[in-house]
């Protein structure tokens, strides 16, 4: 699915080129629901030479499951993925 820059959490992460952790999606006015079961989300942009080449978007069916350790781990994964592009 293609999401416009700035739209939803994925679009905001893409536009700003920064990781977003949303502990409770019901509190986000700009959230685009893909499933009614999703309660939280983390979105990590994949950048190559400063250009956005993709995103890693993980949804959770529980509130606030993502910690700073998850953020660091997933950003490291996305950095490794960027080398494949």
* pLDDT of res. 1: 63
Percentage of the chain modeled with pLDDT above 70: 99
- What is the rounded average pLDDT of the residues 56-73? 96
Q: For the chain, list the domains and their CATH numbers.
A: 8-82 (3.30.450.40)
The residues, any chain, with a CB within 8 Å of residue 31's CB and separated by 6 or more, are 8, 9, 22, 25, 41
In degrees and rounded to multiples of 5, residue 33 shows phi and psi of: -75, 130
More confident residue, 25 or 2: 25
Give me the pLDDT at residue 3, please.
Answer: 74
Asked if residues 24 and 1 have their Cβ atoms less than 8 Å apart, the reply is no
CA torsion sign for 59, 39, 75, 85 is: positive
pTM of structure: 0.90
* Phi-psi group of 8: left, alpha or beta (phi > 0 → left; psi -120 to 50 → alpha; rest → beta): left
pLDDT tens digits, one per residue of 39-56: 999 999 999 999 999 999
Mean pLDDT of 55-66: 96
């Amino acid at each position: 699915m293609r999401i416009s820059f700035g739209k939803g959490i994925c679009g905001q992460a893409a536009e700003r080129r920064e990781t977003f952790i949303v502990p409770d999606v019901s509190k986000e006015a700009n959230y685009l629901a893909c499933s009614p079961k999703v309660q939280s989300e983390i979105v990590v942009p994949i950048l190559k030479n400063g250009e956005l080449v993709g995103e890693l978007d993980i949804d959770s069916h529980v509130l606030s499951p993502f910690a700073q350790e998850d953020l660091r781990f997933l950003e490291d994964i996305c950095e490794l993925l960027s080398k494949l592009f």
